């Protein structure tokens, strides 16, 4: 038998407090919607609570309510928004949340919405410790170097938690405490409801503090505890843009750490950014300046970078993407992209295909071993296998009103500077002459020539540009030719 982790005790509901203004962000975007590492702050908190599989998830919304509710519908349609019209404090927010689920019994997790580094394992350890100790309320804490602005955990001589005191209400002795309240609590629903009904707003901010519940339960003689987070980084909140940058960096360091442990080479962790939602297989190599965003997935043996941004993109085994911007594309195994390519959504490169320098593609399938090596635009196209698209070819897909499709067969040779005016089809094995404007279909195996024949006007430069270096060079060439006769 494989030894299993003991199951995490059940949690009936998760309550996320996300109604606060976030004044210090100085933003028109609600604080909890600011993104980092591929999710919003709120998205990270919900993801950390997800493994608890709580039957009910409530998110208290207020500031920027429409935006937060819209975001919730996208990322957590099962979560229930509860409106806090006026931000009268975290205690008031928690009260409204519990009122919204009147029949709720059992254990509740309450968590601040601005804790993007919180991990599932940390929450699970808190819930397990809470149940193990038979507590009424357990608070997540951490020892931090700089506790400025945070609630302090007051313990008595035997180490048991007595109260949480906000910094602005703390005595100088209490301010010296470095163990802080993370803003993550597990407690019994009924006891929380009762205690929340008794808290007051007799504090420096005149707000109802969720944190006061702890002290109240202590005076009632109920069992209350504090569990220190293993990694103090987990509990860091995020109140302004500098903290946002710090949290983003920490999150990224964690992602890269895990990737490197799993066998991914990261040449320069300082300039490599990988979202928590992206995936990279062992033996992939990430060069400096690489960003892997959204649902991007990079397979084994692929090389990405330097200086490349990939969004929602799949990179196959052994493929390479160099100095390029790639959105919603599939880069097949052994395919090569760049340098300086721009791949837009709907681009699909088959095995061994090549998209080279200064090429833009959109909604384009490039078949096995086919090449678009230089300076081209390929939009709304299907290209067969083994084809070559000459430099400066444009797939003319837009007539000013609608987009049209171009189909290129297998082993086609499109000459340089061909305009393919869609809708148009070039049959298998066909050629187009350089500089052609192709407006009608080319049958398989044909050579299409669609350009004005060349005309040389002899002596034009001597007559019309006399006295210029060009005319002198032309005269010298003419006299050399005469002498040679």
Known catalytic residues?
374
Q: How far apart are CA 132 and CA 316, in angstroms?
A: 47
Shortest gap between Cβ of 369 and ligand UD1 (angstroms)?
54
Shortest gap between Cβ of 113 and ligand UD1 (angstroms)?
4
Closer to ligand UD1 at the Cβ: 87 or 416? 87
**CA-CA-CA-CA torsion for 456, 457, 462, 463, nearest 10 degrees?**
-160
**Site for ligand UD1, residues 389 to 418, rule: CB under 6 A:** none
Binds 336: which of Ca ion, ligand UD1, none (CB < 5-8 Å by kind): none
Shortest gap between Cβ of 88 and ligand UD1 (angstroms)?
5
Neighbour-count burial of 67, counting CB atoms closer than 10 A to its CB (0-12 exposed, 13-18 middle, 19+ buried): middle
Shortest gap between Cβ of 113 and Ca ion (angstroms)?
9
Binds 333: which of ligand UD1, Ca ion, none (CB < 5-8 Å by kind): none
Closer to ligand UD1 at the Cβ: 17 or 331? 17
Residue nearest to Ca ion as judged by C-beta position: 237
**Mask of contacts with ligand UD1, 59-78, x by CB under 6 A?**
-x-x----------------
Shortest gap between Cβ of 423 and ligand UD1 (angstroms)?
54
Length of the chain: 485
- Whether 384 and 408 have beta carbons less than 8 Å apart is answered as yes
**Site for ligand UD1, residues 228 to 257, rule: CB under 6 A:** 237
> Tokens for 196?
């929340």
Q: How far apart are CA 58 and CA 297, in angstroms?
A: 32
Closer to Ca ion at the Cβ: 236 or 335? 236
Q: What share of the chain is helix, strand, coil (3-state, %, to 5)?
A: 25, 30, 45
Which one of 11, 15, 20, 375 is in contact with ligand UD1 (CB under 6 A)? 20
211 binds ligand UD1 (CB under 6 A): yes
- Whether 135 and 224 have beta carbons less than 8 Å apart is answered as yes
Which one of 209, 273, 377, 395 is in contact with ligand UD1 (CB under 6 A)? 209
Closer to ligand UD1 at the Cβ: 18 or 48? 18
Closer to ligand UD1 at the Cβ: 60 or 104? 60
Closer to Ca ion at the Cβ: 38 or 237? 237
In the numeric block, the tokens 């350009």 are attached to 451
- Whether 338 and 319 have beta carbons less than 8 Å apart is answered as no
Query: Which residues, in sequence order, are CB contacts of 435 under 8 Å at separation 6+?
Result: 415, 416, 417, 418, 451
Closer to Ca ion at the Cβ: 18 or 255? 18
Q: How far apart are CA 81 and CA 141, in angstroms?
A: 27
Which one of 84, 290, 308, 393 is in contact with ligand UD1 (CB under 6 A)? 84
Q: How far apart are CA 387 and CA 282, in angstroms?
A: 32
Instruction: Kindly state the DSSP code that residue 193 receives in the 8-state scheme.
Output: H
- HSE-up of residue 87 (Cα within 13 Å, Cβ side): 14
Which one of 38, 64, 81, 151 is in contact with ligand UD1 (CB under 6 A)? 151
Q: How far apart are CA 58 and CA 385, in angstroms?
A: 53
* E runs forming strands in 220-313: 224-228, 265-266, 273-274, 279-280, 285-286, 290-293, 297-298, 303-304, 308-311
Site residues (vs Ca ion, CB under 5 A): 114, 237
Which one of 81, 183, 316, 356 is in contact with ligand UD1 (CB under 6 A)? 183
Binds 60: which of Ca ion, ligand UD1, none (CB < 5-8 Å by kind): ligand UD1
Which one of 8, 11, 13, 17 is in contact with ligand UD1 (CB under 6 A)? 17
The 3-state DSSP class for residue 78 equals coil
Neighbour-count burial of 323, counting CB atoms closer than 10 A to its CB (0-12 exposed, 13-18 middle, 19+ buried): middle
Binds 88: which of ligand UD1, Ca ion, none (CB < 5-8 Å by kind): ligand UD1
Shortest gap between Cβ of 162 and ligand UD1 (angstroms)?
14
Closer to ligand UD1 at the Cβ: 62 or 316? 62
**Mask of contacts with ligand UD1, 86-125, x by CB under 6 A?**
-xxxx-xx------------------xxx-----------
Query: Which residues, in sequence order, are CB contacts of 394 under 8 Å at separation 6+?
Result: 376, 377, 418, 419, 420
List residues near ligand UD1 by CB under 6 A. Answer: 17-20, 60, 62, 84, 87-90, 92-93, 112-114, 150-151, 164, 166, 180-183, 209-211, 237
């Amino acid at each position: 038998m494989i030894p299993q982790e003991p199951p995490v005790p059940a949690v009936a509901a998760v309550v996320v407090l996300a109604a606060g203004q976030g004044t210090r962000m100085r933003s028109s975007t609600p604080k909890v919607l600011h993104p980092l590492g591929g999710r919003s702050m709120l998205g990270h908190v919900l993801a950390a609570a997800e493994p608890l599989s709580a039957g009910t998830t409530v998110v208290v919304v207020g500031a920027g309510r429409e935006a937060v509710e819209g975001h919730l519908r996208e990322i957590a349609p099962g979560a229930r928004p509860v409106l806090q019209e006026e931000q009268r404090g975290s205690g008031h927010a928690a009260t409204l949340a519990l009122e919204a689920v009147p029949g709720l019994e059992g254990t509740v997790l309450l968590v601040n919405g601005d804790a993007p580094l919180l991990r599932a394992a940390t929450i699970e350890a808190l819930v397990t410790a809470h149940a193990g100790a038979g507590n009424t309320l357990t608070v997540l804490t951490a020892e931090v170097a700089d506790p400025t602005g945070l609630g302090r955990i007051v313990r008595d001589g035997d180490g048991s938690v007595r109260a949480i005191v906000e910094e602005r209400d703390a005595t100088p002795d209490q301010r010296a405490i470095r163990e802080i309240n993370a803003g993550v609590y597990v407690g019994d629903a009924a006891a929380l409801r009762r205690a929340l009904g008794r808290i007051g707003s007799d504090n420096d901010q005149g707000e109802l503090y969720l944190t006061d519940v702890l002290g109240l339960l202590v005076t009632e003689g109920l069992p209350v505890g504090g569990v220190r987070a293993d990694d103090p980084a987990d509990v860091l909140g995020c109140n302004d843009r500098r903290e946002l940058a710090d949290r983003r960096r920490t999150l990224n360091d964690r992602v890269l750490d895990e990737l490197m442990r799993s066998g991914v080479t990261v040449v320069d962790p300082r300039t490599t950014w990988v979202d928590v939602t992206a995936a990279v297989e062992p033996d992939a190599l990430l060069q400096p300046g690489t960003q892997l965003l959204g649902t991007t997935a990079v397979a084994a043996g692929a090389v990405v970078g330097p200086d490349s941004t990939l969004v929602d993109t799949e990179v196959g085994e052994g493929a390479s993407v160099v100095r390029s911007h790639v959105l919603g594309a599939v880069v097949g195994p052994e395919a090569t992209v760049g340098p300086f390519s721009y791949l837009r959504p709907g681009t699909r490169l088959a095995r061994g295909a090549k998209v080279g320098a200064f090429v833009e593609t959109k909604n384009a399938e490039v078949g096995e071993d086919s090449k678009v090596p230089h300076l081209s635009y390929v939009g709304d196209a299907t290209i067969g296998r083994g084809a070559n698209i000459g430099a400066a070819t444009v797939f003319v897909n837009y007539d000013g009103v609608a987009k049209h499709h171009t189909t290129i067969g297998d082993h086609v040779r499109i000459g340089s500077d061909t305009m393919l005016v869609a809708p148009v089809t070039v049959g298998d094995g066909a050629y187009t002459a350089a500089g052609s404007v192709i407006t009608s279909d080319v049958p398989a195996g044909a050579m299409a020539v669609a350009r004005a024949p060349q005309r040389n006007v002899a002596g034009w430069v001597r007559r019309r540009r006399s006295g210029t270096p060009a005319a002198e060079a032309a005269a010298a060439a003419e006299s050399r030719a005469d002498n040679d006769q």
